[in-house]
Structure 1
């Protein structure tokens, strides 16, 4: 079973970007283009990332979890982007410290309370070093969806 939260249109593997803004623009504009978020969503993501950064270092791997309040989201989706070369993001809770990020998970969840639950569930799974390494080594969108769906499948109905 694959989760409808994950969709091949929102999976980008082994990408090259020069900065976090380009990454957020890519993921956010996909949400808008495929009508999973209303116009303005991407701008809000960029603003929120400046005010409240979302990057964490987990087992020496940088992970960013950009997200905003649910007002712009029309259909819940989680976007995933992996980088061939890490890109600096500001560390969560420390806006003056940068982290080289290799994995970006955009959380576009309709309900703010459930978005927090998705972040929590994803963070729990990301603590598993083998899982993190598996994400970094993904080679196809289908493989990515199968792997990532497993971590949220039991909460999928709530998150829709």
Structure 2
């Protein structure tokens, strides 16, 4: 169900960014150049993240799930990003600061599917074996394969 949203072209495990703005600029330009995001995507990310922080803390991993309103998404995608340095991020809900270098940018065209996708991601990151494999994945191909396999199972 969600596995089609992953694409090895949308995996970058060594982004050199020192702020959320730098990360949003990098991912946004990349997603736009590959036809997944529309103009306004970067500003949409910045505004939405400022209003609704997306950081999540799991037992062995911190992760952020930045996303935008559907009009900025050309076709559904999940962009998997890892930064070379951890960035300060605000947690979803209580907005307390945390640090993370792991990001899944959600490009959702149908808002009705957002809740199910978030639930699937949260379930996946509660699996300790999956987290170990996620953190160990060091190539775009390995990461894409891991995510496709996991989210094929989750949706089944």
- TM-score over 0.5 (shorter chain): yes
Which aligned segments of 4 or more residues in structure 1 are displaced greater than 6 angstroms? none
Cα separation, 2, equivalents of 1:26 and 1:119: 23
Match of 2:89 in 1: 89
**Structure 1 residue runs without a partner (length 5+):** none
* Contact kept? 2:76, 2:107, Cα under 8 Å: yes
Summarize deviations over 1:122-149 as a string: whole Å, max 9, x none.
1110111221222122111111111001
RMSD across aligned positions (CA): 1.8
Residues 155, 128 of structure 1: CA spacing in aligned structure 2 closer, same or farther, 3 A cutoff?
A: closer
Match of 1:138 in 2: 137
1:1-80 matched pairs, under 5 angstroms: 3-80=3-80
TM-score by length of 2: 0.89
Deviation at 1:74, TM superposition (A): 1.8
TM-score by length of 1: 0.87
Cα separation, 2, equivalents of 1:78 and 1:130: 21
**Structure 2 residue runs without a partner (length 5+):** none
SS in 2 for 1:14: strand
